[in-house]
Amino acid sequence: MAGKSKLLKIYVGETERYQDKPLYQYLVYWLKDKGIVGVTVNRGIEGYGQDKILHTARFLELSSDLPMILEVVDRADKIEALIPDICKIVPKGLVFTVDLEVHKYGNTP
Amino acid sequence: MAGKSKLLKIYVGETERYQDKPLYQYLVYWLKDKGIVGVTVNRGIEGYGQDKILHTARFLELSSDLPMILEVVDRADKIEALIPDICKIVPKGLVFTVDLEVHKYGNTP
Amino acid sequence: MAGKSKLLKIYVGETERYQDKPLYQYLVYWLKDKGIVGVTVNRGIEGYGQDKILHTARFLELSSDLPMILEVVDRADKIEALIPDICKIVPKGLVFTVDLEVHKYGNTP
């Protein structure tokens, strides 16, 4: 992965849906389709966002919309080109990027 | 979220307590109270810190103090203003910040 | 932790092995042995990498090679010195670093 790289993080709710799929799953397939080389998904155990409602896995009886966190690493230009579309797909989540230095990606030397 | 933003990460132990609450829960409520717009909590499955004791979910029989990781994103000035207090509340964890570029936060345009 | 610091992230597959150990466990012990002050391990619930095969915890019936994510924070010079060796140990994962500012590490003042 020559050139500048970026980490893209996308935070959505576990129960948010897009085109009859969970939004986070839709994003994974969409990013794969766009040629992004790798995506990782994590589920947070607790969190709150702009609505200020605390979602948590602590109380099983509460229906909880836990945070789903997607991490994407690729060339800066590839990630920047996708951000306008991602911001449309993600209506109320958080989307940010961080500059990073890639030392190894897959079995490239 | 106009202006410069930061990611704040706080690492504490799952069993650490503060004012009769788990420390990580205390921090979530404290950050909410301070007007921070979003917090996510993750539980690591393994880790060690300054004490060099490996905590892991691999061995169920070992009482394990797994790492709890809080991620906070907000305006740089808001986060910087809270750091001295956070360092007092977190007596032996890790607290760091990273510069980032926010593309979308909630349903703001 | 005086001076510049870095966050090092290493992504490997849960089933990858190295010297008769799971690779991620080998890395935790190896980093500890090298004097790195703290490591945290997270297991992603879904992801794909260079092979473009989606690994997911959604379908229990599929044998899944979930992503394991190691986070390491230490002085920049200590981390940089280890990167060539890490890239040899991790044959097909992702290894990157991000600059950060440490505000607190353990019970140092």
Q: Do B42 and C39 touch (CB under 8 A)?
A: no
Residues C6-41 have pLDDT tens digits of 999 999 999 999 999 999 999 999 999 999 989 999
Whether A88 and chain C come into contact, CB under 8 Å, resolves to no
pTM: 0.93
Q: What are phi and psi of A34, to 5 degrees?
A: -85, 0
Q: Which residues of A touch C44 (CB under 8 A)?
A: 40-42
Whether A57 and chain B come into contact, CB under 8 Å, resolves to no
Q: What are phi and psi of A69, to 5 degrees?
A: -120, 120
Task: Tell which of A46, A59, A64, A70 to mutate to test the B interface (max B CBs under 10 Å).
Answer: A46
Q: How many domains does chain A have?
A: 1
- Residue A63 in this model has a pLDDT that exceeds 60: no
Q: How would you class C48 by CB atoms within 10 Å of its CB: exposed for 0-12, middle for 13-18, buried for 19 or more?
A: buried
Confidence of residue C71 (pLDDT cuts 50, 70, 90): very high
Tell me, yes or no, whether C105 lies in a domain.
Answer: no
CA atoms within 13 A on the CB side of B40: 24
Nearest to C105 among B47, B67, B94 (CB): B94
Please indicate whether residue C80 or residue A64 has the higher confidence score (pLDDT): C80
- Residue A50 in this model has a pLDDT that exceeds 80: no
Do the beta carbons of residue B105 and residue A50 sit within 8 Å?
yes
Residues B88-98 have pLDDT tens digits of 999 888 999 99
Q: What are phi and psi of A78, to 5 degrees?
A: -65, -45
Whether B53 and chain C come into contact, CB under 8 Å, resolves to no
Whether C38 and chain A come into contact, CB under 8 Å, resolves to no
CA atoms within 13 A on the CB side of C23: 23
Tell me, yes or no, whether A105 lies in a domain.
Answer: no
Nearest to C90 among A7, A38, A104 (CB): A104
Task: Tell which of B6, B71, B104 to mutate to test the A interface (max A CBs under 10 Å).
Answer: B104
Residue B27 belongs to a domain with what CATH number?
3.30.70.120
Do the beta carbons of residue C69 and residue C42 sit within 8 Å?
yes
Q: Do A38 and C49 touch (CB under 8 A)?
A: yes
Confidence of residue B52 (pLDDT cuts 50, 70, 90): confident
Whether A39 and chain C come into contact, CB under 8 Å, resolves to yes
Average pLDDT over every residue of B30-35? 96
List b or e across C51-85, with b for residues whose CB sees 16 or more CB atoms inside 10 angstroms: eeebbbeeeeeeebbbbbbbbbbbbeebbbebbee
Tell me, yes or no, whether C16 lies in a domain.
Answer: yes
Host domain of residue B34: 5-99
Confidence of residue B61 (pLDDT cuts 50, 70, 90): very low
